[in-house]
Amino acid sequence: MTDQSQGASPARTPRIAGAIAAVGFLVVAGYQVLLALGIAFSGAAWGGATLTPALRLASAISAMLLVLAALIVFGRTGYWGRRLPAAIFRWGTWVLVAGMTLSALANFASPTVGERFFLGPSALLLAFLCFAATRAHEPPPATFNVHVPIPGGH
């Protein structure tokens, strides 16, 4: 008999990390939506630049990509997408690990305090959580049961 009071089992840890990463991506997507609407927070985005129409469009596109990132991580950890090829989620999660690591480096190099001390660590945390999600076991493929009626049969 195992004692579950010691925390999550090793098999569940990647799923939990993936769920946290996906929620993190959705939170950042919400931030990007606010930027796309012209609501800026303390110059902590786009290097502290004024939100021009081009940057607002870039924020809208970023928000969509971040929602896609959340779906990829949810798929990698088996929360959804069993009808899609597992390779999409497996490779997509590794792309997110690399992308979030590069994002963290870019934010740490930013001249703005918000990017250096909030967005940089946040991106690094998302990279770590995505890496943890790569350790998830492959969800079983979906099974498709096709019922073909036989004429005259029951």
Contacts (Cβ under 8 Å, ≥6 apart) of 115: 44, 45, 47, 48, 107
pLDDT at 142 over 80: no
Which residue is associated with the tokens 């992308």?
99
Q: For residue 148, give the 3-state DSSP assignment.
A: coil
> Which residue did the predictor score with more confidence, 126 or 112?
126
Given a cut of 90, whether residue 130 has pLDDT beyond it is yes
This prediction has a pTM of 0.81
Question: Domain map of the chain by residue range?
Answer: 11-40+50-133
**For the chain, what percentages of helix, strand and coil (3-state, to nearest 5) are there?**
65, 0, 35
Q: What is the pLDDT of residues 59-99, one digit of tens each?
A: 999 999 999 999 999 999 999 888 899 999 999 999 999 99
Q: What is the pLDDT of residues 37-54, one digit of tens each?
A: 988 765 777 877 888 999
Query: At residue 2, does pLDDT exceed 60?
Result: no
- DSSP for 27-62 reads HHHHHHHHHHTT---TT-SGGG----HHHHHHHHHH
- Taking phi over 0 as left and psi of -120 to 50 as alpha, with beta for the rest, 80 belongs to beta
